Amino acid sequence: MIESERDRAADQAYRDHANDVYRVAYGILRDPDEALDATHDTFARAWERWDQYDRQRPLRGWLHGIVVHLALDQLRRRRVRRLALPVLGRATASLERTTEPDPADDVTRRQLVEAALDGLRPEVRATLVLRHFYGYDYAQIGTFLGISSGTVGSTLSRAHAAIRRRLEAEDASAPGESSPATSPTLAARRGTSTEPPEVLR
Amino acid sequence: MTRDPHANALDDATIEQLVRDVAGSWTMPPVRLDAPSWRDRVRRPGARRLAVAGGWLGRFGQAATAAAALTVVGALIAVVLTHPPTEPGKSPQPSTGTTPGPTRGAQATPLPKILLAGDEPNPAVVVVRTERGDYARVDLATGSIDGPLTSKSSSSELRLQGGGTMVCLCVSESGSIGGMPTDNSVSLDRYDSRGKLTSSSPIQSFSGEPDPRDVGELIPDKPAHVLTNIGYSPDGRYGFVGWSVRAHPVWQSGIVVVDMRDGSIVSRLALPDASDGEGDARRVVTAPGVVGSIGSSSVAIARSWYEWTPAASLEPSYTFENDVFTAKLGNGTFSDLAPVRLASDCGATVNRAGALPDGGFWLACTQGGAELTIVRRLAADGSLLGDVRVNGGVGIDADPTALSDNGATLYVWDPSGATLTGVDLANGTKTSGKGIAAAGEGPLSALGHWLAPTAAAKSFLRGALAISPDGSRIYAIGVKGGGSSHEMAGSTGVFVFDAASLEPAGVWQPTADYVSLAVSADGRFVYAAGLPGIDAAGERQLDQQASITVYDTTDGSVRLIAGRLGGDMLSFISSALN
C-alpha cells in the first residue's frame, strides 16, 4: 500500500473507530487524559503496522488488540510508580470525595457500577467492556489479553459476582432499607467516591 | 437505565446491561487542535529504518549510513570497566554526585531485537519469571521469548533441574469473595526442556473463608482468604508448601513437605493458630516458609502478618510483624517446633536465617523493602546477642541481601546509595564499600540515550545482588534517586565489588532500566533484565520491550542485548544461572 493510501485508510479508521478505541482504553485506565493518550498511540502504531492488518478481519478488533496492549502497558508504568511507597505492597489510596450523587435511581446505580468497576483489576474491566459492549467471544478476548478462553469465562463470572455484591451491599444500606449488616461506615460513604485502592500484585 | 426495584438479586443479564450502559457513556472528549495527535506520534520511514537497523543508530544522525555506524558501534561496544578513582591501597571515597543524570537530546529509539558482540554467552537459554507471575524461556541466540509456561497463579514456584527440565509446585486459584480467591490447589507439574508439560499430580487444596464480621462491608484492603508459599530444600529433594487459611476467629497455617521425586507427601507441620484481628482490627497471616538452615537438622520458619485498623477505613493504620519458629527437619519430617520469642519486632519480613558458630542463629529481616535491614543475632539459649542495622534506600521494594557461599557474611545492598555492606555474622561487625559513579560521558553514553541512565520511575528490584560462583565478586543493580523521594529515577548500572574488601571494582553503564540480575554458573557473564516501556532517557517509550543485556565479566563489555522480549517485566528466578 502506498503511503497516501495508508494515510487515507488510517484517517478513515480514526474517524470510524476512535471512540471505540477510547472506550476500551478508558475502561482499562480510568483516566480521560491517559485514555486519550493511549487512543492516539494506538492509531500511530496501527499506521506503522498497517501492512500487518488482515483485511479479512474486522478493523475494530485489530485496533482493540493494539489498544488493550498499549493501555495495560501504560497502566503497568503507573503501577510501578505507585509501588514506590514507604509501605511497600500496600496502596495508600488518595480518595477524592465528590458531591452528593443525583438522587435519581439510575444515576446512582450508574455511579455505583462505576465505583464497582474501579474496584476491579484493569484486565477484568477490559474483559467486561470487550464482552458486554462489543460482544467479542471468549477466544478473541483471550487473544487480546493473553489469557485462555476459560480464564475469560471465570473472570467474567467473578466480575459479575463482585459487581452484584457491591450493588446489593449498597442497596442494603440505603435509607429505608435497613439491614443488620449495614455499617455506619458504609452508610456514611454513600454518595462518595469509594474507590478502593488498586490491588498491587 | 432502569431496573426493577423489587428484584431480589441482580442476574447476569442485568449486570451486562449495566456494564453496557456505563461503558456507553465513556465517549472520547474533544481533542485540542494544538495537542499532539496520532499522526505526530508516528515514526516516519526514515526513523523506522534506522530503528530496524539497530535503533540506537539514530543517535548518530540520519546522515550516517548503517554500515559506517555499525563499525563505530562495534568498536565502542567493547566498553571497559570504569575503574575506581582511588589510588591503590586507599579506601574509595564516596561519590561526589557525579552519578550520571538524565541526558539531553532527542528521544531514544528502542533497543534492537538482538545484538551480539562475539560468541553467544553461556547459558544462551534462560528461564525468567514474568510480571504476571508466570514463567517463560528466553532464547538469547534469537532474542525470542516463549509463551507462559504454567498458566498458574503467581504463587507457583518453578525450579530448574538437570538437562533443562523443570519442576513446579504450581498453585491454581479458584473461588472469589471480595475479589480474592477462596481456594488454592497445589500440584506438582513437570516440564521438559522445551517447556512442555509432561505430567501434573495434585498435592493438596486449601480453602479459606471470608471474615464473617465483614459480610456486606467494603474492606478497601481486600484481604486474602487463603495463601500459599512455595519453597524447596537446597538440594531440591523436598518441596515446602506453606499455607494459611482464615477460619474465623483465627488463621490456621502449616507446611506440607513434598518429596519432589514422586510427589508424595512426606509430612505435615501445623503451626499455632493466629488471631485474625481483635475488635476493629483485621489481620492477614501469610503462609509460612522455611527461611534457612540454623544448624544440623534445624531450620527457621517465618510467618509474617499484617494488621490494619479500623477495618473498613480508607486510611487505616498498619502493623507489620512476623512469627518465627525453629524446628528440627530430618528426612523431610519436622519435629520439636518452638517459637522464637525475640523475633517479633525484627522487621516486616524475615528473608534469611543461618547458624552462628556458637550454636545460636541469626535472622535477616527487612522493613520497607531495602529501606532497613536488621540482622538479629540470637544465642543458643534464645537470648539476644545484638542487632546490626543497615539503612538503605526509601521506597525500593527488594530483598537487598545475599549470603556468601560459606555462610559467614551477609551482604546488604543500598541500591540508591550504591553502598554495599558486609555483616560478619559471627561477631556482628559490619564494613561498607561505596560504589563508584559511572562515567557520564564515556564511550557508552556516546552511543546514544538508550545507553544512558534512565530517568523513569522504578521502585522494585527482583534480584538486586548476585555473587560470582567463586565468591570473589559481587554484582549489584544501582537505582538512581532514593533519599526522601518516592519516585525512583532509573538505573545507575551494574556495580561491581571485590567481595573480600568490599572495594568497588567498577560500574557498567546500563542499557535499560534494570530490575533483575544474575550471573552464569562459570562466572563469565552477568545478565541484567531491563524494564519494558521506558526508553534510555527515561521517557515513556511504548515500543521499548523488556530486555536482557549480557555483560562479559572479564572486561565489562556488552556481549549481547536482546531488546524485544515482550511487554511484561522479566526477572531471573535465581541469581545463579545454570
Give residues 118 to 147 of A whose Cβ lies within 8 Å of B. 119-120, 128-129, 132-133, 146
Give residues 6 to 65 of A whose Cβ lies within 8 Å of B. 10, 14, 18-19, 22-23, 26-27, 32, 35-36, 39-45, 47-48
CA distance B176 to A199: 15
CA distance B28 to A19: 5
pLDDT of B545: 87
pLDDT of B409: 96
Give the minimum alpha-carbon distance from B298 to chain A in angstroms, rounded to a whole number: 31
State pLDDT tens for residues A43-98.
988 988 888 888 888 899 999 999 998 898 877 766 554 433 333 332 222 223 33
Q: Which residues of A touch B397 (CB under 8 A)?
A: 83-84, 88-89
Compare CB distances from A81 to B3, B217, B487 and report the shortest one's residue.
Answer: B487
B471, pLDDT greater than 90: yes
Looking at per-residue pLDDT, the higher value among B239 and A169 belongs to B239
Reply yes or no: is the peptide bond before residue B400 cis, omega within 30 of 0.
Answer: no
Asked if A168 is an interface residue toward chain B (Cβ–Cβ < 8 A), one would say yes
Do the chains contact at A88 and B39, CB–CB below 8 Å?
no
CA distance B173 to B205: 10
Handedness of CA B467, B471, B474, B475 (dihedral sign): negative
Looking at per-residue pLDDT, the higher value among B23 and B162 belongs to B23
Which amino acid makes up residue B429? T
Through-space distance between the first and last CA atoms of chain A, rounded to whole angstroms: 43
Please tell me the least confidently modeled range out of A68-72, A173-177, B92-96, B123-127: B92-96
Contact B508, B553 (CB under 8 A): no
B239, pLDDT greater than 90: yes
Q: Which of A11, A41, A74, A88 best tests the B interface by mutation, with the highest count of B CBs <10 A?
A: A88
Give the minimum alpha-carbon distance from A57 to chain B in angstroms, rounded to a whole number: 23
- What b-and-e string marks burial along B347-359, b requiring 16 or more CB atoms within 10 Å of the CB? bbbbbbbbbbeee
Compare CB distances from A44 to B1, B42, B533 and report the shortest one's residue.
Answer: B42
Q: Domains in chain A, start-ordered, CATH in brackets?
A: 3-82 (1.10.1740.10), 105-189 (1.10.10.10)
Compare CB distances from A88 to B9, B36, B369 and report the shortest one's residue.
Answer: B369
- Reported ipTM: the value is 0.76
Q: What is the pTM of this model?
A: 0.62
pLDDT of B289: 97
- Find the mean pLDDT for residues A128-142: 91
B363, pLDDT greater than 90: yes
| Residue % of chain B over a pLDDT of 90 | 50
Helix (H, G, I), strand (E, B), or coil: what is residue B417? coil
- Find the mean pLDDT for residues B543-551: 90
pLDDT of A34: 85
**Which of B504, B23, B203, B112 has the alpha carbon at shortest distance from A19?**
B23
B234, pLDDT greater than 60: yes
Do the chains contact at B486 and A48, CB–CB below 8 Å?
no
* Size of the A and B interface in Cβ pairs below 8 Å: 199
Pure H helices in B122-173: none
Confidence grade of residue B31 (pLDDT, cut at 50, 70, 90) = low
Confidence grade of residue A111 (pLDDT, cut at 50, 70, 90) = confident
Q: Tell me how long chain B is.
A: 578
Angle among Cα A171, A175, A177 to the nearest 5 degrees reads 55
* Residue in the structure block whose three cell numbers are 502493623: B319
**Which of B441, B425, B336 has the alpha carbon at shortest distance from B373?**
B425
**Which of B501, B499, B504, B556 has the alpha carbon at shortest distance from B528?**
B556
Which helix (DSSP H) or strand (DSSP E) does residue B76 occupy?
helix B66-76
Cell of B426: 559471627
Strand ranges of the sheet holding B384-391, from the earlier edge strand across to the other edge: B349-355, B361-367, B372-378, B384-391
Contact B102, B108 (CB under 8 A): no
Give the list of residues 6+ apart from residue A188 with CB closer than 8 angstroms, or none.
none
B389, pLDDT greater than 90: yes
CA distance A123 to A107: 25
| Residue % of chain B over a pLDDT of 70 | 78
Give the minimum alpha-carbon distance from B283 to chain A in angstroms, rounded to a whole number: 14
Give the list of residues 6+ apart from residue B230 with CB closer than 8 angstroms, or none.
B155, B156, B157, B169, B171, B186, B239, B240, B241, B242
| Residue of chain B whose alpha carbon sits nearest to that of A70 | B542
pLDDT of A23: 94
Do the chains contact at B542 and A41, CB–CB below 8 Å?
yes
B36, pLDDT greater than 80: no
Asked if B532 is an interface residue toward chain A (Cβ–Cβ < 8 A), one would say yes
Looking at per-residue pLDDT, the higher value among A94 and B564 belongs to B564
Q: Tell me how long chain A is.
A: 201
Cell of B151: 498458566
Helix, strand, coil percentages in chain A from 3-state DSSP, rounded to 5 = 70, 0, 30
Give the list of residues 6+ apart from residue B267 with CB closer than 8 angstroms, or none.
B256, B257, B332, B333, B334
Pure H helices in A92-148: 105-118, 122-128, 138-145
Contact B189, B198 (CB under 8 A): no
pLDDT of A8: 83
Looking at per-residue pLDDT, the higher value among B354 and A77 belongs to B354
Do the chains contact at A36 and B533, CB–CB below 8 Å?
no
Do the chains contact at B28 and A47, CB–CB below 8 Å?
no
Helix (H, G, I), strand (E, B), or coil: what is residue B465? strand
Q: Which residues of A touch B5 (CB under 8 A)?
A: 105
Asked if B52 is an interface residue toward chain A (Cβ–Cβ < 8 A), one would say no
**Residue A111 CA from chain centroid, whole number:** 14
Confidence grade of residue A167 (pLDDT, cut at 50, 70, 90) = confident
**Residue B403 CA from chain centroid, whole number:** 17
pLDDT of A98: 33
pLDDT of B96: 30
